[in-house]
Every structure is written in structure tokens, then in C-alpha cells.
Amino acid sequence: MNKWLAFVLFVVAVGSVVFHFVSPWWFTPLASNWGHIDTTIVITFWITGVAFVAVILFMAYCVLKFRHKADRRAAYEPENKKLEIWLTVVTTVGVIGMLAPGLIVWNQYVHVPDGADEIEVMGQQWTWSYRLPGADGVLGKTDVRNITSDNPFGIAMNDPNGVDDVLIEGDDLHLPIDRPVKVLLRSIDVLHDFYVPHFRAKMDLVPGLVSYFWMTPTRTGSFEILCAELCGTGHHIMRGTVVVDAADDYDAWLQEQETFADYLAAAEAAKTSTARLALDNEEAEPKAAQ
């Protein structure tokens, strides 16, 4: 039994390491500037991996070496101060080895570089919408209370910055390559989380406030957006696509998008045409009566 248990412990320790290296399941290929996050994870893997293997193999050895014999006594050693202090110091060093790089990268994560483009991601059950600042480079103010069918983003009518905002509903988000972007996040109903595995970055969308993260796309292509915060029955179907374009392609795409002004004009036109239709109907009726 002791041999068998020691063998299983050995397999667990070594097998876990082997699994790690041969497993086909690993990070999606990176498509943003957050390679440092991957590096921090690899550092953590090494430090913790060594500790894990050491502890399990030590235990396997003990099980094998100190198996019960009726004529033998266990050692009597209540404490060993020197050993305990030594282990504490080694552990502390290991922890610092993980924490220090982690905090350095986190510091980069929370500090948005100057001149980053701002875009807005808006979540609602269970779709993603996007808003770009338009020609003036400034996003208009919003309020959930402003939301109507003509103003799905709730943009403040009295804010001139909002008129040229580019609005994208039910379509892909495009981003230009190699330009840092600050992604402002907003929800109009429940919690959501904007998560693109290839970018590594993610952050919750919280109704009532605007959260953010930043990143620089480093690879063209289209990447899937997932919702990573449980948001109700349709959580798993709340998907989207972000397309990273070369600069020219991006500009071409941007030209084709509708602005808030277009929305307002369309709404106005619809109102007029409804009014005209009503007028036509009124004119038509007397004819029918004749």
C-alpha cells in the first residue's frame, strides 16, 4: 500500500508537469500589447510548480521511507525553530518573486497612455453596441434616462460633442492596429464583462458607472468577444466580433458608419413620412367615401 501510494503521488507530481508541457490547451495566440501578463503567468508557473513538485515528492518519499513498523518509534521533535524560520524566508522570497512583477504590470494596466483613442462599449441583455467619438474626438455625454428607440445610446441632446459620435449596433467593432485604445465600458441593465481572450484584458460593465481598460491591438484579424459576467439566461450567446484593421482599411470602414446625426435625421425623416402617410390617409378617406 505504501509503495502504491508513493507511486501515485509520484505520478501526480510528475504527471502534472508533463501534462502542462504536452497539453494542447493553452492561451489563445496573443493579439495585444499584454504579453507582460503572459510573462507574469509563466513566472508564477515556475515558482509554484517547483514548490508543488517538491512538496508532493517529499511526501511520496516519507510514505515510502517511514511506513509503519510495530518495533519502530517515530521521532519526537515538537519544533525546529531554525527550519521553520528558513522555510518562512524562502516562501516569502518566492511570494515577492511573483507579486513584484505582477504589481508592475498592473501599474501599466491601470495607467492609460497619453493620447490613447477612446471608444465606448455598451452592454445590454444580450448584445454589444459600440460608440466612437467621431470627428471631434470626444464622446458625447450619456444618461440611461435619455434612452429611447430613436436614441438607443441615451446621448444627451444638449451636448454638441455627441452629434458626430459614430454608433454601431448589431455589427462588428473595428479597431486600428498599433494604436493604444482606452475602452470605456457601460451597461444599461445588468453586469456584463467585455472579454476578448486574444487580448487578455477584460473588465466588467457596471450599470450606473463607466469602467475602463486599455490595450493596443498588435495583430490584424477578427477576434471573438465573449461576455464573462453572468448576465441572465442569454449570457452564453452574448457574443460579438472585433476586427483589427490596418490603418487604411480602418479609415475606409469608418467612413461607412452612421453617426448620431444620421440617427436623428432618420428619426426625423421617419416622423415626417409617418405624418405624410397620415395626411395621405386623411386625403384618401374622403375619396373612398364619395
Site residues (CB under 8 A) for other proteins, limited to 124-183 = 124-126, 143-145, 147, 149
Question: Which residues is 130 bridged to in the sheet?
Answer: 121, 168
- Which of 25, 238, 7 is CA-nearest to residue 121? 238
| Residue 139 contacts residue 260 (beta carbons within 8 Å) | no
Name the residue type at position 214: W
* Between 82 and 287, CB nearer to other proteins: 82
* Between 100 and 275, CB nearer to other proteins: 100
**211 forms part of the interface with other proteins (CB under 8 A):** yes
* Between 147 and 156, CB nearer to other proteins: 147
**DSSP secondary structure code for residue 217 in this structure:** B
**67 forms part of the interface with other proteins (CB under 8 A):** yes
DSSP string, 113-165: PTT-EEEEEEEETTEEEEEE-TTTT-PPPB-GGG--SS-TT-B-TT-GGGTT-
x/- letters, 24..53, toward other proteins (CB under 8 A): xxxxx-----x-xx--xx--x---xx-xx-
Work out the angle between the directed axes of helices 35-65 and 2-22 (0-180°, nearest 10): 170
* Between 33 and 40, CB nearer to other proteins: 40
Q: How far is the CB of 63 from other proteins (least distance, A)?
A: 6
* Between 163 and 173, CB nearer to other proteins: 173
15: helix, coil or strand? helix
Distance of alpha carbon 160 from alpha carbon 135, whole angstroms = 12
* Between 48 and 272, CB nearer to other proteins: 48
The pair phi, psi for residue 203, each rounded to 5°, is: -160, 150
Distance of alpha carbon 76 from alpha carbon 67, whole angstroms = 16
| Residue 34 contacts residue 213 (beta carbons within 8 Å) | no
| Residue 140 contacts residue 165 (beta carbons within 8 Å) | yes
**Exactly one of 17, 62, 252, 284 binds other proteins (CB under 8 A); which one?**
62
**66 forms part of the interface with other proteins (CB under 8 A):** yes
**Exactly one of 118, 195, 253, 259 binds other proteins (CB under 8 A); which one?**
195
* Between 28 and 273, CB nearer to other proteins: 28
Site residues for other proteins, 95-114, by CB under 8 A, read: 95, 98-99, 102-103, 105-107, 109-110
* Binding piece for other proteins, criterion CB under 8 A, among 11-19, 158-166, 255-263, 264-272: 11-19
Q: How far is the CB of 185 from other proteins (least distance, A)?
A: 7
* Binding piece for other proteins, criterion CB under 8 A, among 62-70, 164-172, 253-261, 271-279: 62-70
Cell of 217: 491591438
